[in-house]
Amino acid sequence: MNTTSSSTPMFFRNDKRTTLYLAGWTPFSDGTYFLICSFLIGFAFITRALVAFRAVMEQRFRTKHLDRQRAAADDETSDTKEKKNKTIPFDLERGPGNQQTSTGVMAPPWRLIWDVPRALLFALIATCSYLLIIAVMTMNVGYFCSVITGLFLGELTYGRSIQWARY
C-alpha cells in the first residue's frame, strides 16, 4: 500500500488555474482569477450576513413567543386574582407579585410559520458554509485568503448582530 501518492495536495499552492466547483470555474487569466477571488469574498460575506439574519430572526421569534406567554400568564393571573379577591399578597411558589421565580426555559411549541423558515435558512447557511469549505480545500492560497477576507469583513459588519450564546 503506497501512502505517499495522493490526489489531494497537502500544501498550499499559488496556481491560478485551480478549478473551483465546476470545470467552467477554472480561471484562464489573471482577470478571471481576480473575479473568482472577488466572488469568494462576496460569498463569504453573504454567509456571515445570513448567520446574522438568522440570529435576528431567532430573537424576533423568541420575543413573540415570550410575549404570548406573558399575555397568557396575565390572563391566568387576572382570573386567579378575581377568584382569590386579592387575599394573598405573597405567593411562596411564585415570589412577590405572583411572578414565577423558576429559571427553567421552555422551548416554544412547534409552529409551521416559524420552524419551516428556520430550517430553510439553516439549510442555506450550511450549504454556503460547505461550499466555502470546498473552496478552501482546493489548497489555493488566493481562494483561502479570499474566504478569510470575506469572513472577516462579514464579521466586522454583522458580528454585533450574531449572539453565539444562543447557538
Lowest mean pLDDT among 2-11, 87-96, 136-145, 158-167: 87-96
CB atoms under 10 Å from CB of 118, counted, come to 14
- pLDDT for the residue numbered 45: 97
- pLDDT for the residue numbered 35: 93
Q: What is the mean pLDDT of the chain?
A: 78
- pLDDT for the residue numbered 76: 62
Interatomic CA distance for residues 55 and 49, integer angstroms? 10
134 and 21 in contact (C-beta within 8 Å)?
yes
Give the model's confidence band at 151: pLDDT under 50 very low, under 70 low, under 90 confident, else very high: very high
Domain ranges of the chain: 29-77+110-166
Burial class (CB in 10 A: 0-12, 13-18, 19+), 74: exposed
Residue-wise pLDDT tens digits, 58-76: 888 877 777 777 777 766 6
Lowest mean pLDDT among 57-66, 114-123, 133-142: 57-66
Burial class (CB in 10 A: 0-12, 13-18, 19+), 161: middle
**pTM (2 d.p.):** 0.68
Q: Quick one: what percent of the chain has pLDDT higher than 90? A: 36
Interatomic CA distance for residues 136 and 130, integer angstroms? 10
- For residue 136, the one-letter residue type is V
Angstrom distances, CA of residue 73 to CA of 80, 98, 124: 10, 10, 36
- pLDDT for the residue numbered 144: 94
